[in-house]
Amino acid sequence: MKVLVLGPGGREHAIIRALLKDSAVTEVHSAPGNAGIAQDVPVHAIDANNPEAALALATELAADLVVIGPEAPLVAGVSDTLRDAGFAVFGPSKPAALLEGSKAFAKEVMASANVPTAMAKVATNREEAETALATFGAPYVVKDDGLAAGKGVVVTEDFDAALAHAESCFAAGGSVVIEEYLDGPEVSLFVISDGSTCLPLSPAQDFKRIFDNDEGPNTGGMGAYTPLPWLPEGFVEEVIERVAQPTVDEMARRGTPFVGVLYCGLAATSRGIRVIEFNARFGDPETQAVLARLRTPLGGVLLAAAKGELPADLTLDWDPRTAVDVVMAAENYPDTPRKGDAITGLDTANQRENVHVDHAGTALDGDSIVTAGGRVLAVVALGENLTEARDAAYAGVRDIAWKGAQYRSDIALAAAENRIQIPTQN
């Protein structure tokens, strides 16, 4: 099987690593890739968001499967163009990807499917925003309705700050979703779907804020770990029953079947499971940790989903160890990150036992690998428990350096110290 993976980041590097372990996968190509991906597979310098460019490359390669990593190509309709040309594509259609492309649309689907989520109001101007903020009260949760690469959400006790974020979205021509604050720890669950069948992966938790102790602005994610030892028994099964399957069924009922990964961003609240958001693809950086534990060959699973042939009784095989990944980001991320700084220590980190480095925002400058984005690398480690995996990941992080590199020091620390509790249900 020849596979083309579209996308430039750490999620795509993790997908490619997993595909290369699948004996049924004979060849993997990436577009546009990055400096780390280019060390593993051939890369092609195309605009992955351009449907015609993606189609031309898939045709040239005679790809048996195209895997679309990021959200932007999905919302741009790349999967539709490829499917119309007869390619097997893992990634939802443009109408189905609206589950991520519009939070207001996702709320509508959840309401129709009776999926538990936060109460919310859509606001298109200052007056509507003020009314909605007053209705729900602090902490205020304001979400840009459109794509924002994980950085369009503000959660604050400050009414003025919440209103300012809403107005910045209005000024850009968008709308916002303002919703009630959900208590309890967050959980990320990836669910692979062929349009009807739902197959859950290992639940993970990520860390959105830039600084330790969940301080500072939101980012695309600064690290993750899996599995979650504090999750109650039956949690995943309940998510499939109450969230994923009803949503997939509702999308099929609407004539827009969801084929790909439904990312369920969840809160384990005092009132039970609540959906924070849906994404229409693998999440980053959770994918780096989740796929590091997957033993079932990934290529066959993704191809079956793309063809609508996912076995209803499929059970995935997982490494029993824990995976932790720590994101290393460029100076000044998440604002305007510095680029072009030479990275050292990558070989040393990759040579550590049970450690590898997934590249995200990297590029080649002559013979040097340099920073080329906000989130630059994810250092991934496996360990017998959270403490061992954390220690290994941070040892790899300390091997690597560039000017202004930053990372959180507390990824998975609360879980390792048994400090995560789910609120008692009312």
Residue 401's CATH number: 3.90.600.10
Higher pLDDT, 284 or 147: 284
Q: Say yes or no: 16 and 59 in one domain.
A: yes
pTM value?
A: 0.91
Residues 6+ apart with CB under 8 A from 255: none
DSSP 181: -
Structure-block tokens of residue 322: 């824990």
Distances in Å between the Cα of 174 and the Cα atoms of 146, 161, 218 are 7, 18, 19
Specify the length of the chain in residues: 426
Q: What is the pLDDT of residue 150?
A: 52
Name the residue range of residue 50's domain.
2-91
Q: What is the mean pLDDT of residues 291-319?
A: 97
Rounded distance between C-alpha atoms, residue 320 and residue 288, angstroms? 16
Q: Is residue 213 part of a domain?
A: yes
User: What are the DSSP calls for 238-290, one per residue?
Assistant: HHIIIIIHHHHHHHHHTT---EEEEEEEEEEETTEEEEEEEESS--TTHHHHH
In this structure, the answer to whether residues 14 and 65 fall within a common structural domain is yes
Average model confidence (pLDDT) for the chain? Answer: 94
Q: 228 in helix, strand or coil?
A: coil
> 15-19, 94-98, 138-142, 144-148 — which is least confidently predicted?
144-148
The total domain count for the chain is 4
Assigned token pair, 118: 């936060």
Choose one of 266, 294, 319: the last residue of a domain.
319
Q: Note the pLDDT tens digit of each residue in 259-292.
A: 999 999 999 998 899 999 999 999 999 999 999 9
Domain termination residue (choose one: 279, 302, 319): 319
Instruction: Tell me, yes or no, whether 196 and 294 share the same domain.
Output: yes
How far apart are the C-alpha atoms of 183 and 207, rounded to whole Å? 16
Q: Does the residue 105 lie in any domain?
A: no
Residues facing residue 318 across a β-bridge: 294
Q: What is the pLDDT of residues 326-375, one digit of tens each?
A: 999 999 999 999 999 999 999 999 999 999 999 999 999 999 999 999 99
